Structures are given as C-alpha cells and as structure tokens.
C-alpha cells in the first residue's frame, strides 16, 4: 500500500489536507507522520516513503523555503500533483478557560503571521510563542497547568480535548496553502518530453552578473505563448548575489512550445531541472 508522509503530529493542516485527498481521490494509502518538512522530503528521497505531501506556498505569507530549497538540490524528487487547501485557523483553549485571561498563545509561525491583526486587537499584551506545528501548540496547551491558548486546526484542538474560543481568525478569508505531493524519480529516467497536466515546474540558475539575463530567459516563454503563473528566486548558496529561479508554467501552449522554451532556457542557464507537469486539485 502507498505511504504518504506529512508534517506531524496529528492535527496539522498537512494531515487535514492529506485526509481530504485520501477521501476525495478514493486512493488507498496510509498517512505517515514525520517530524518536519525536511524529514518528509528526505524519506521520499531515500525511498522510505512512496510520496510526501508538503506545503510550498501560502497566499498570505509566501513561500515555504525548505520545500523549494530541497527540490532545487535534489535530482530524484519530482511533483505528482498540487493541492490547493483553504486554511481556517481556530483559537482553542481548555474547556471553561477564561479567554480574556490567557497568558500565552502558541502556534506555528505561519498561522501566527496569518492572524497578526486578530492577535494585536484581542491580545496585545499576551506573549506569543512559536512552535514546530499547530498540532504541537494544541499539545502544549492541553498539557499545561496554566491558562494558555493555541491557534490550530479544529481537529488538532479536539484531538487534545480543547474547545473553540474563536474560529476563522485569519486576517484574510482568502487564506490558501498550496501543497505539492512529492515522489521519487530515478536519476536515469528518460527526459521529460510531454506535459500531461495543468502546470510545469522548472528550476534553474542563471548568470546574474550579465545585464538582462533574467529578461532574456522570460522572453523565451513569452515568444512561444507559454504563460508563467509564478516566479520565485532563492539564494544559490554559492556566492553572494547568486540566485536560483523557480518558474511555474501553464501547459496550454502545448508540448512542442514547452519543449522549445525549456531547451532555450537550458541553453541560457548554468543548470536547469525540469520537474515535469502535474495536475492541480482545488480542495
């Protein structure tokens, strides 16, 4: 049976997304809990897991750097599909707790940032503590002898006996996280020549010392009517000022246009990785 790794413990947004995927895709797989995102990706790379479902971008707070950096530095990881997940954050406490007297609020850094206005308005003087996950925050609050609160998923709170003090507390209702399902692809696999999916992801490093080098790369997409939906840069970790670029492309232009564009960009790059095409699922 297929094994799908996620960021744990139980009750994270990652687990909720994985359980939704299992139910609605009607696929028979088991969900395996991992300590962090790197552990998920490393377990897939080492073939200890068949796949991993990891966040790559949040609509309010931006990219998940560990996911992008690991994809850039691996030559055996690829993307099977993307899941777009609406994030709902809950403030949860122990039953009968006095919400107005909460001493500390725990959560992962991303939800804390997503709920910044809510926290500033309602808890301006309360200590905010970042944790490794929203589920870990729920664990801390449930086991504490003091009046603490967690920002977490409803499932995480209920798993630890917490009750809802406030729901949908994110500052913007358009709060979505994109997840990639990452799988293993052998180094000696045949080059990707067809693009059966909604998007393509390519990663490359270009010579930033040459004026107009990025513009020259973008022109290769534009003149073939290949639409780019996202561009992201990350430090190459070689010398100061060297960057890696992530290009997400729509597949509507067709295989020939995509092949030609990617080959042209390859010729203008120091190196390039083509992770192929993948479907996009809206949860």
Tens-digit pLDDT profile for residues 250-279: 999 999 999 999 999 999 999 999 999 999
Task: Go through 93-104 and write b for each residue having 16 or more CB atoms within 10 A of its CB, e for each that does not.
Answer: bbeebeeeebeb
CB atoms within 10 A of CB 18: 24
Tens-digit pLDDT profile for residues 51-102: 999 999 988 778 899 999 999 999 899 999 999 999 889 999 999 889 889 9
**Mean pLDDT, rounded, of the chain:** 91
Find the mean pLDDT for residues 30-53.
Answer: 94
| Amino acid 274: pLDDT | 93
CA–CA separation, 148 vs 146, rounded Å? 6
The whole-model pTM stands at 0.85
Tens-digit pLDDT profile for residues 168-198: 999 888 889 999 999 999 888 877 888 889 9
Straight-line distance from the first to the last Cα atom of the chain, in angstroms, rounded to the nearest whole number: 24
- Which candidate, 81, 68, 2, 63, places its Cα nearest to that of 41? 68
Task: Go through 191-229 and write b for each residue having 16 or more CB atoms within 10 A of its CB, e for each that does not.
Answer: ebeebebbbbbbbbbbebeeeeebeebeebbeebebeee
| Amino acid 260: pLDDT | 95
Q: What is the helix (H) or strand (E) element at residue 117, kind and residue range?
A: helix 116-122
- Measure the CA angle with vertex 179, ends 227 and 151; round to 5°: 130
On the question of a common fold for 90-167 and 195-277, the answer reads no
CA–CA separation, 106 vs 133, rounded Å? 9
| Amino acid 257: pLDDT | 94
195-277 sits in which CATH class? alpha beta
Domain segments of the chain as ranges: 1-87+174-188, 90-167, 195-277
Is the pLDDT score of 242 beyond 80?
no
**What separation in angstroms does the CA of 153 have from each of 91, 134, 239?**
9, 7, 40
| Amino acid 26: pLDDT | 80
1-87+174-188 sits in which CATH class? alpha beta
Tens-digit pLDDT profile for residues 190-240: 778 888 899 999 999 988 667 788 899 999 999 999 999 999 988 877 777
| Amino acid 195: pLDDT | 87
CA–CA separation, 140 vs 90, rounded Å? 15
Is the pLDDT score of 160 beyond 80?
yes
| Amino acid 2: pLDDT | 92
- Which candidate, 201, 198, 236, 197, places its Cα nearest to that of 78? 201
Q: Looking at domain 90-167, does it have CATH number 3.50.50.60?
A: no
| Amino acid 150: pLDDT | 96
């Amino acid at each position: 049976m297929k094994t799908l790794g996620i960021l744990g413990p139980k009750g994270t947004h990652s687990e909720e997304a994985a359980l939704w995927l299992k139910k609605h895709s009607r696929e028979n797989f088991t969900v395996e809990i991992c300590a962090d995102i790197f552990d998920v990706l490393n377990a897939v790379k080492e073939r200890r897991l068949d796949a991993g479902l990891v966040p790559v971008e949040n609509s309010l707070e931006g990219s998940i750097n560990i996911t992008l950096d690991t994809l850039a530095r691996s030559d055996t990881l690829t993307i099977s599909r993307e899941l777009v997940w609406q994030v709902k954050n809950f403030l949860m406490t122990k039953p009968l707790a006095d919400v107005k007297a909460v001493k500390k609020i725990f959560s992962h850094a991303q939800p804390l940032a997503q709920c910044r206005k809510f926290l500033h308005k309602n808890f301006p003087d309360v200590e905010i503590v970042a944790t490794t996950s929203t589920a870990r925050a729920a664990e801390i609050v449930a086991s504490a002898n003091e009046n603490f609160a967690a920002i977490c998923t409803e499932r995480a709170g209920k798993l630890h006996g917490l009750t809802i003090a406030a729901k949908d507390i994110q500052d913007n209702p358009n709060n979505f996280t994109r997840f990639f399902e990452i799988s293993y692809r052998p180094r000696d696999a045949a080059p990707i020549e067809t693009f059966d999916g909604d998007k393509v992801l390519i990663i490359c490093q270009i010579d930033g010392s040459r004026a107009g080098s990025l513009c020259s790369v973008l022109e290769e997409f534009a003149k073939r009517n290949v639409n780019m939906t996202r561009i992201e840069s990350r430090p190459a970790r070689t010398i100061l000022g060297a960057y890696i670029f992530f290009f997400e492309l729509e597949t509507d232009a067709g295989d020939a246009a995509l092949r030609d564009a990617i080959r042209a960009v390859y010729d203008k790059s120091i190196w390039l990785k083509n992770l192929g095409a993948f479907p996009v699922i809206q949860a």
